[in-house]
Amino acid sequence: MKARARVRVVPQKTATPRRQGGSGILSTRIEHLKGRIRESGLRSTSPRVAVLGHLEERDSPGSHAEVAEALSALGFDRATIYRNLMDLTQAGLLARISLGENVWRFEVRNAIKMGEGAEHPHFVCVDCGLVSCLEGYSVDLKPSALETGHPSVSSIHEILIRGVCIACEAP
């Protein structure tokens, strides 16, 4: 009977490869995203980090289809993206808004980006469909001289402004 050789496999300790020019910034950003997710009570998973990171980089709210398309190269399917959009929204990290087009859009609820608890209006171009956050703008609704307010309204959470964007208005 032949004796079998025993082989012991020991993982090599190798340094994590670092990219030149900013890997520390990337690492810090990922740790920041993971921390925000954990603080909200969720587990920090790679799809959640990717979704939150993608939406933080956007200038306007993104639909499920837009987020799924942008993250498909990372190997996440549409169902995974949808579940994570819902989880992050329920945890209070994302806001889900409807801009009147029968498509939910998502944006980051970010104290740094938007101000603590700040709500802001959104603009939708009626010609090209451009969606823009109007951060830094406020809308002040005042009752007309004849009315002293609407008795059934206690607060307004979302304001949508429709019009024509500069690009569509240009001759």
Q: How far is CA 90 from CA 32, 34, 85, 106, 140, in A?
A: 19, 17, 9, 12, 29
Residues 6+ apart with CB under 8 A from 158: 97, 119, 122
Burial class of 7 by CB neighbour count within 10 A (0 to 12, 13 to 18, 19+): exposed
What is the model's pTM? 0.64
Domain ranges of the chain: 25-169
The CATH number of 25-169 is 1.10.10.10
Strands 122-125 and 104-108: unpaired
Cβ contact 84:51 at 8 Å: yes
State pLDDT tens for residues 23-71.
Answer: 567 788 899 999 999 999 999 999 999 999 999 998 888 999 999 999 9
pLDDT at 97 over 90: no
